[in-house]
Amino acid sequence: MRPMTPLAQSIITSNYVSLGLFVQMQFASSVEHVWTGVGAISWNGQTWTGLGDFGKISAITEDSNLTAQGITLSLAGVRSALLAEAMSEIKQGLQCQVWLVLVNQAGVPVDAIGCYAGMMDQSDIDEGPEASVINIAVESRLSDLQRAQNHRLTDSDQRMRYPTDDAFKWTAQLLDWSGAWGAK
């Protein structure tokens, strides 16, 4: 369980509880700050634009098996004329963070819990006659563990990463060696 500040605990136990999901997404030319409510709200030194019903976030899940759990961010109501521009801004590997934020009765964010961080992956479009929906898959950093590494146990590959390390200097000669280790 994640710790809560005393202020957050008092809001949770009060008669009025309001929550919002705040999402920070890095695009090719900008960083955008949006939230699931309506209207603009200031938090963490940024102005967050409310998407209301136009924005959706899939369920955020965790498990104890250290498996990569992805989420999907959706933006509805995108005019067809803006689709190409919007899609050119989405690049694989750019950062995305999601916070669950407690909002008091005055509409001021008072506490936040970081609930997801990952990198944008593939995106797709559900086209409609006048407006479309853009879906962006976001993968957790654990998904990197499932990808094959493109490193070899060779001297040249090792020196690309560590120029003064000669640990693999004799690897090529060992391929042709026929003998027994430790033999005299």
pLDDT tens digits, the chain, 184 residues: what are they?
Answer: 567 778 778 777 878 878 889 999 999 999 999 999 888 999 989 999 999 888 888 888 877 776 778 899 999 888 877 788 888 888 888 999 999 888 887 888 888 888 889 999 888 888 877 778 899 999 987 666 666 677 778 888 888 889 999 888 888 888 788 888 777 7
Query: What is residue 78's predicted lDDT score, i.e. its pLDDT?
Result: 82
3-state helix, strand and coil shares in percent for the chain, rounded to the nearest 5: 20, 40, 40
* CA 80 vs CA 34, 58, 127: distances in Å: 21, 24, 8
Q: Is 90 helix (H, G, I), strand (E, B) or coil?
A: coil
Q: What pLDDT score was predicted for residue 147?
A: 63
Using alpha carbons, select from 97, 119, 89 the residue that is nearest to residue 28: 89
Domain range summary for the chain, segments of one domain joined by +: 6-147, 148-178
